[in-house]
Structure 1
Amino acid sequence: MYRVLATASALLATARAQQACTLNTENKPALTWAKCTSSGCSNVQGSVVVDANWRWTHSTSSSTNCYTGNEWDKTLCPDGKTCADKCCLDGADYSGTYGVTSSGNQLNLKFVTVGPYSTNVGSRLYLMQDENNYQMFDLLGNEFTFDVDVNNIGCGLNGALYFVSMDKDGGKARYSTNKAGAKYGTGYCDAQCPRDVKFINGVANSDEWEPSASDKNAGVGKYGTCCPEMDIWEANKISTAYTPHPCKSLTQESCEGNACGGTYSTTRYAGTCDPDGCDFNPYRQGNKTFYGPGSNFNIDTTKKVTVVTQFIKGSDGKLSEIKRLYVQNNKVIGNPESEIVGNTGSTITDSFCKAQKVAFGDPDDFNKKGGWSGMSDALAKPMVLVMSLWHDHYANMLWLDSTYPEGSTTPGSARGSCPQDSGDPDTLEKEVPNSSVSFSNIKFGPIGSTYSGDGSTDPEEPEEPEEPVGTVPQYGQCGGINYSGPTACVSPYKCNKINDYYSQCY
């Protein structure tokens, strides 16, 4: 994407480094979310900021583009340091340029937006604490809940919500040449060690930049940027997955060339992060009727659904499991049991991850790059919330919603019901430009504090015999300080202590 502005009389930045300019006013969309305790939830007034990669990047002394289409200007950017000295990031018109709008606690992301100066594809945004800092979340021992509507994103698209170990200020304090900071969406990193990020560590990633042959807005530079990643939600209306990705380092760090590994390098597992992760996709785990469009699925993606993710501590204070629940039509619905031989379970645990790699014959890069212990350590530290809508120029999103690798019949290759010829980026941009996803009602707090609903009743299951009065349904509260309700769980579930304030039936 590029931006050419006719207005040249506005205030220009005079500082030198990766800067912020003010030809465009930066008005971040407001977004309300809730912080919860055992006694209730209270609203927090936040906002979101678009990633620096999407922003208009131009000369600090004029409106001349530093980056046009998928190429750097060779005069302004002969090398990364000079480029950072001569170029700046500018403010964003969120709705007109990026198709991003908000109302109350809901954020809406549009796939393709035709603006006055450009055609924008997708977006990536971060929740802000204040004008200059990202909102940070300590996930270990807590749960994160949100509502999502994926009815308008089909095969090949990904409405993602996830956490990464970015710096709170976008790297402004660590890297003196980064003058823009979180206010302008800098500092991105993830477990793919992406090399398409335009500024890394306060320096332009223009060295050895190769424009993409298929993506008119992107390319690959010499450097990548790595950090742990917790994918809470990668989904469209056909498939969904949640996936932890550990790294050897718990904080953002840069990498160089193919040693970065991940999607953007020739050797996928060469880097310090696990690009595959340990995923739980119900379809991939053998349940093809749990998630999809229509009332014949346990989770009907034609309707809004509440997604609950619990990061449960064990007795040693470390991560013991990552549990997924859904709430739809006021029913709490547990994640389905895996139907893969040798890979049982309905939650992500250390043993589940190890068994999955064996069952599917996948490289166990998860344990080589920090494993379960490393992921526990990452979740114990503050992470940044990311919300995005994107398509995939590398694998057409087949790894999420179709068969991948293409044509494979091995266990784990079937990930969704989308055709193997679906997901072509150019086709999606032309045929479904008005696709959109909405995230809303974000809540964060101790286990059991962010959601409510009745016990689950899967549509396919026969009715169970009526339980005695005074029993607690599956995933309901059955104990804890100041709790005065029933403590007996419906059969066959037992009351498990999560913390002093909350016990749960499962």
Structure 2
Amino acid sequence: MFRSAALISFAFFAVAYGQQIGTLTPEVHPPLTWETCTASGCTTVDGSVVVDANWRYLHQVGSTTNCYDGNEWDFSICTSPTVCAAECALDGADYEETYGVTTTGDSLTLGYVTVSEQKNVGSRLYLMAAGSETEYEIFKLVNQEFTFTVDVSNLPCGINGALYFSQMDADGGVARFPTNKAGAQYGTGYCDSQCPQDIKFIDGVANIVDWTPNPQDPNDNSGTGSMGTCCVEMDIWEANSMSTALTAHSCTVTEQTSCTGTDCSAANATTGFCDQAGCDFNPFRLGVTDFYGPGMTVDTTQPFTVVTQFISSNNESTGTLSSINRLYVQNGNIIQNVNTNVAGITATNAISTEFCEQETTAFAETDTFDEKGGLAAMAEAFNTGMVLVMSIWDDTAVNMLWLDSDFPVGGTAPGDARGSCPVTSGDSATTEAESPNSNVIFSNIKFGAIGSTFSA
């Protein structure tokens, strides 16, 4: 994702955080079916989803006392990172009432603002392995394609309905970090290319050192600690009804890895483990302003299917990743991704090494994607395996302008215009007040051989 670690602002109010397993509320993962496909056809998989640990109620073991309240840790309980992990327990989730998350068959709905006993904004969920309560599903993507149907018709400017892959541990970090007792069953072990420092527990210990509440929004109970958590990230889908981006992020690390200081880095910086800016394919940013949106070629007023193909150099899963291709299916029509229309970029509708190099030159950016390993690093992560992530969020720092408006504000250079939303849009407080019932619906997830997951 484009945001830097300092800009992460998943807003979550009805939550607290931890690593032990609580017993106040049973954890029941909402079921979600999906399909694996070959040239011979597709087979249904009985999967489920789990909400991220960062959203969960965290309390002292054996009591209902919060370990984290408002946007501060209770240091009478959390006297050190390891003591906090031992003394605090994650509890089960009421997915619909607390987080606005519902599933029906192969369809997952993520609500934006949910008010029960407290207010919750957004969510982040992972696909669990079929038949398992303790491991995430692992996808190996080289020479494969991933397909889903999405409805963004109820996602206005400033809200992001995202579907992506992160190189998380299948067990949520339990094997590598024994102080993590909750694991994938309770949504632990998150990482991405932004090396986010807002994650409350990293490597099985509490991220309490130098904890600073989010200064951007006094009503947001998030913050940042001294640690971040890094890994390769493939943003299949970051979008609302106005704009969309397909973005690859490489890293020099080959598994979920904690960071501190300059290792966590920032967008466009050459230091740090990961490429935070990414090599992105946003049709509007790449010069085609009438391709994606209400009433356009890909009409966001109604559902459509998104197909992403990870092309191998030798047509084998062990080959080098040569390109990432995109197409859409809507109303029975296959819609090829649009070709770029930017001076200095050879017309293309796919992400490739040449495209990434040309894009950063055309937009006067640093090519951190290739510096951190580029498509070769992506292929290595893809062959190791990735976890599927689905989320809905707003942005208290820069109002999602990097996705759907002009960013930086007032910028007129090539690449600054990223969508048609006004630069005054996306303020999280305004969006939450005016569009609380927004949602994104992901359905009909399919994974398999190139050409096997879709038809006209």
Same fold per TM (> 0.5)?
yes
* TM-score of Structure 1 vs Structure 2, range by shorter chain: over 0.9
Matched, 1:402 2:430: no
In the alignment, which residue of structure 1 is the partner of 2:248?
A: 244
Distance of 2:411 and 2:288 partners within structure 1:
18
In the alignment, which residue of structure 1 is the partner of 2:141?
A: 139
Give the C-alpha shift of residue 442 in structure 1: 0.1
In the alignment, which residue of structure 1 is the partner of 2:37?
A: 36
Give the C-alpha shift of residue 202 in structure 1: 0.4
Question: Do 1:4 and 1:65's aligned partners in 2 also have CA atoms closer than 8 Å?
Answer: no
1:321-364 Cα offsets, whole Å, 9 max, x none, are: 10001000110001000000111211000100000010110111
Distance of 2:270 and 2:74 partners within structure 1:
32
Q: How many residues align?
A: 436
TM value normalised by structure 1: 0.84
Matched, 1:220 2:217: no
Question: Do 1:57 and 1:89's aligned partners in 2 also have CA atoms closer than 8 Å?
Answer: yes
Deviates more, 1:394-403 or 1:439-448: 394-403
In the alignment, which residue of structure 2 is the partner of 1:292?
A: 293
Question: Do 1:142 and 1:445's aligned partners in 2 also have CA atoms closer than 8 Å?
Answer: yes
Out of 424, 446, 449, the residue aligned to residue 446 of structure 1 is 449
Question: Do 1:200 and 1:223's aligned partners in 2 also have CA atoms closer than 8 Å?
Answer: yes
**Which residues of 2 match residues 351-500 of structure 1 at below 5 A?**
351-453=354-456
In the alignment, which residue of structure 1 is the partner of 2:123?
A: 123
In the alignment, which residue of structure 2 is the partner of 1:480?
A: none
1:430-455 Cα offsets, whole Å, 9 max, x none, are: 111111000000000000000001xx
Distance of 1:78 and 1:341 partners within structure 2:
56
Question: Do 2:269 and 2:368's aligned partners in 1 also have CA atoms closer than 8 Å?
Answer: no
Distance of 2:198 and 2:343 partners within structure 1:
39
- Runs of 4+ aligned residues of structure 1 deviating over 2 Å after TM superposition are 1-5, 267-270
What letter is aligned with 1:228? V
Give the C-alpha shift of residue 268 in structure 1: 4.7
In the alignment, which residue of structure 2 is the partner of 1:12?
A: none
What letter is aligned with 1:285? L
What letter is aligned with 2:361? V
Distance of 2:13 and 2:51 partners within structure 1:
15
In the alignment, which residue of structure 2 is the partner of 1:270?
A: 271
Question: Do 2:102 and 2:109's aligned partners in 1 also have CA atoms closer than 8 Å?
Answer: yes
What letter is aligned with 2:169? D
Q: CA RMSD in A?
A: 1.4
What letter is aligned with 1:180? A
In the alignment, which residue of structure 2 is the partner of 1:161?
A: 163
Distance of 1:449 and 1:418 partners within structure 2:
36
What letter is aligned with 2:216? S
Deviates more, 1:362-371 or 1:435-444: 362-371
Question: Do 2:159 and 2:392's aligned partners in 1 also have CA atoms closer than 8 Å?
Answer: yes
Which structure would you say has the larger Rg? 1
Matched, 1:301 2:304: no
Question: Do 1:269 and 1:275's aligned partners in 2 also have CA atoms closer than 8 Å?
Answer: no
Out of 309, 312, 328, the residue aligned to residue 330 of structure 2 is 328
Question: Do 1:3 and 1:65's aligned partners in 2 also have CA atoms closer than 8 Å?
Answer: no
In the alignment, which residue of structure 1 is the partner of 2:197?
A: 195
When residues 4 and 63 of structure 1 are mapped into structure 2, their CA distance, relative to the original with a 3 A threshold, is farther
Larger RCO (CA within 8 A; separation ≥ 6): 2
Distance of 1:203 and 1:269 partners within structure 2:
28
Distance of 1:120 and 1:25 partners within structure 2:
20
1:157-187 Cα offsets, whole Å, 9 max, x none, are: 0000000000000000000100000000000
Question: Do 1:4 and 1:63's aligned partners in 2 also have CA atoms closer than 8 Å?
Answer: no
What are structure 2's unaligned runs of at least 5 residues? 1-11
When residues 184 and 406 of structure 1 are mapped into structure 2, their CA distance, relative to the original with a 3 A threshold, is same
In the alignment, which residue of structure 2 is the partner of 1:485?
A: none
Deviates more, 1:437-446 or 1:270-279: 270-279
What are structure 1's unaligned runs of at least 5 residues? 6-16, 454-506
Give the C-alpha shift of residue 2 in structure 1: 5.6
Question: Do 2:125 and 2:390's aligned partners in 1 also have CA atoms closer than 8 Å?
Answer: yes
In the alignment, which residue of structure 1 is the partner of 2:66?
A: 65
Distance of 1:448 and 1:60 partners within structure 2:
50
